[in-house]
């Protein structure tokens, strides 16, 4: 068989198979990178949720003793979080990884909404005592 020549069809099948293997490997490697991205986004969302919950619980536990000045400071410091969170949610919802990170994103949204509520309470009961700051949120 040393001197035998392969038909062009067999040669073509071999090349096609090699190409398919290479393309499949690239796809798997791409999937690993995609998976890494998904895991990174999930980890980031869970970490951010943890921070939001920590802040929320800290405010709740000290709510009665927070002064008007402290409430104003807390509200001013945290107010930008809502715009940033809204932008982040919009970006993730339009990304190809959305379905894969949906549960983590949903939890993040819930935690941010809970923080919004406690800041609204701070505004209503500590700062203005008669209104909320929802009119400031666009």
56-88 pLDDT, tens digit each: 998 999 999 989 999 998 998 888 989 899 989
- On whether residue 2 sits in a domain, the answer given is no
Total number of domains in the chain: 1
| Mean pLDDT of all residues in 124-137 | 66
Q: What gap in Å lies between CA 96 and CA 118, rounded to an integer?
A: 33
- On whether residue 1 sits in a domain, the answer given is no
- On whether residue 34 sits in a domain, the answer given is yes
**pTM as predicted:** 0.72
Give the residue numbers spanning the domain of 23.
9-136
pLDDT the model gives residue 39: 87
Distances from the Cα of 131 to the Cα of 66, 110, 118, 123, angstroms: 18, 23, 14, 7
Task: Give the Cβ contact number of residue 86 at 10 Å.
Answer: 14
């Amino acid at each position: 068989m040393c001197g035998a020549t392969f038909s062009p069809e067999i040669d073509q099948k071999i090349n096609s198979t090699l190409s398919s293997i290479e393309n499949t490997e690239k796809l798997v490697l791409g999937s690993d990178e995609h998976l890494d991205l998904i895991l990174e986004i999930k980890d980031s969302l869970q970490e951010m949720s943890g921070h939001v919950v920590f802040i929320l619980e800290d405010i709740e536990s000290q709510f009665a003793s927070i002064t008007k000045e402290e409430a104003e400071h807390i509200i001013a410091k945290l107010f930008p979080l809502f715009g940033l969170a809204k932008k982040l949610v919009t970006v993730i919802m339009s990304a190809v990884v959305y379905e894969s990170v949906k549960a983590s994103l949903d939890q993040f949204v819930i935690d941010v909404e809970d923080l919004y509520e406690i800041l609204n309470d701070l505004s209503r009961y500590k700062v203005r005592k008669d209104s909320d700051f929802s009119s400031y949120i666009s």
